[in-house]
Amino acid sequence: MSFLLLFLFCGEFFFIPTVVNAVERDVSFVFPDDAGRGWKLFLSKNCIHCHAIWGQGDGTIGPDLGRIHISLLSEGQLATNIVNHLPTMWEKMQEESIRYEKINKKEMGNLFSFLYFIRYVDEPGDPVQGKALLTARNCTTCHSILGKGGSIGPDLTRWGVYINPIVWAQKMWVHAPRMEEEMRKKNLPWPILNAKDMVNLVAYIQSISGKIQEEYHLEPGAPVEGRKLFKTKACIECHAIEGKGKHVGPDFGKIKFPRTLAGMAALMWNHSPEMMKMMKIRRIPRKDIRPQEMADIIAYLFAVRYFDPPGNPSRGEKVFEEKNCVICHTVGAGGRAGTIGPNLARLPKISVISLTQSIWNHGPQMMKKMRDYGFSWPVLHGTDINDIVAYLQSVHVR
């Protein structure tokens, strides 16, 4: 577990902060809860007994949640995966005599944050492959390592203090224009990197840098600040997001980003020549980005894809009936249909997370009643859970 503890400790400096309201209390843009607390809950709620994270932990009953390669996993998709697998999870917990733990709404938010968080953190790199990559990509033509190699760029050994791919992305962004110029002079191709290449490079440089007295950390990446920087750094002049901006480059609200931070760093690096060329054509001044600003921008990009578009209340009502929810639950002020379960329109502050939390806590009783009535646990698809939440919000009784 030592690596997980390390990554969560480091995560406090540049990943997911506690819930923040964005842009002057704009509640439509809220970042997930605290991932560090979610990790502790993952242990205390016995999730680790069934699920490993990147091979860490004894759980083999369920899938390794750090290695489920889903490029985009939003709040609604997380909830759908959890709800659909609950019957199997409860069954396995009974077989293994694992204590069933109830979860409150705040805890569920923290667990969601953790599960989202681990999707975009990379596994440790391989120093041996990182060393080979430096030669294969001609890095040592310009850069020295431990004082040996090229003299045009800095000795990369000094970069061992940067444990975070975000800082590497920032350094590479700042130096990209000069690097492209030097590579053109030497008739060298622009090296293309993938996410694994990035973490391997970082691992190698760290391995040869010796004991680091003081690693370079960042404050938590703040999506609210990142949203502002996306405009002030002129990203919005070429890229659209949240329905705003230009469409010269990809629309960040629609494309599938790389799954991890290192993947984002590699993507920025790979497209640097094309971006620089387009900025010259459109006369957009290239603005330097500080490490913290890079962390904020990337936090914003990852936060945006966590949130789903608003659900459809009309469709939610239809799904609510098709999935047999009305057999047990009343909805609305007057009340109709089922009376076994509570009136869901009276639930306070209905959200995807609160609904998932309620289903988790009451699921075993719900499943027993369903069997008594002769129907099976509902399987959700696509936007079902978002639509149900929108429907319940539309008929909410104060």
Task: Retrieve residue 173's tokens.
Answer: 């962004």
Rounded mean pLDDT of 95-104? 91
Bridge partners of 162?
A: 216
User: Which class is domain 313-394?
Assistant: mainly alpha
Domain ranges of the chain: 2-117, 127-304, 313-394
pLDDT digits (tens, 9 = 90+) for 163-179: 777 888 888 888 899 99
- Tens-digit pLDDT profile for residues 255-299: 777 878 888 889 989 999 999 999 999 999 988 899 889 888 888
Rg of the chain in Å (alpha carbons)? 24
Q: How confident is the model at residue 209 (pLDDT cuts 50, 70, 90)?
A: confident
User: Does residue 383 surpass a pLDDT of 80?
Assistant: yes
Element (H, E) at 267: helix 261-270
Q: Is pLDDT at 108 greater than 70 in this prediction?
A: yes
Average pLDDT over residues 59-77: 77
Distance CA 304, CA 244 (A): 13
Contact 212, 139 (CB under 8 A): no
Q: Is the pLDDT of residue 91 over 60?
A: yes
* Per-residue model confidence (pLDDT) at position 188: 93
Pick the closest to residue 114 from 217, 20, 41 (CA basis): 41
Cα separation, 308 vs 126, whole angstroms = 35
Q: Is the confidence at residue 329, as pLDDT, over 60? A: yes
pLDDT at 154 over 80: yes
35 has a pLDDT exceeding 60: yes
pLDDT value of residue 379: 96
State the virtual CA torsion across 312, 316, 322, 328 in degrees, nearest 10: 180
Using a 10 angstrom Cβ sphere, with 0-12 exposed, 13-18 middle and 19 or more buried, the burial of residue 39 is buried
What is the rounded average pLDDT of the residues 5-24?
34
Contacts of 267 (CB under 8 A, 6+ apart): 257, 258
Task: Give the per-residue pLDDT at 264.
Answer: 86
Which single residue is written with the structure tokens 């002030």? 232
Q: How confident is the model at residue 360 (pLDDT cuts 50, 70, 90)?
A: very high
Residue 59, pLDDT score: 77
- What is the model's pLDDT at position 221? 72
In this model, does residue 27 exceed pLDDT 70?
A: no
What number is the average pLDDT over the span 234-241? 93
pLDDT at 337: 56
> Rounded to an integer, what distance in angstroms lies between the CA atom of residue 308 and that of residue 286?
32
- Name the phi and psi angles at 340, rounded to 5: -75, -45
The identity of residue 223, as a single letter, is: P
Percent of the chain with pLDDT over 70: 85
Q: Which residue has the higher pLDDT, 66 or 183?
A: 183
- CB contact set of 237 (below 8 Å; sequence gap of 6+): 245, 246, 248, 282, 284
Report pLDDT for 87. Answer: 93
What average pLDDT does this structure show over 126-154? Answer: 92
Q: What are phi and psi of 244, to 5 degrees?
A: -125, 150
User: Residue 140 has which token pair?
Assistant: 């040592």
Contacts of 21 (CB under 8 A, 6+ apart): 27, 29, 30
Task: State the pTM of this model.
Answer: 0.72
Average pLDDT over residues 371-383: 92
> Residues 343, 357: contact at Cβ < 8 Å?
no
Work out the pLDDT band at 13, boundaries 50, 70, 90: very low
| pLDDT bucket at 15, cuts 50 / 70 / 90 | very low
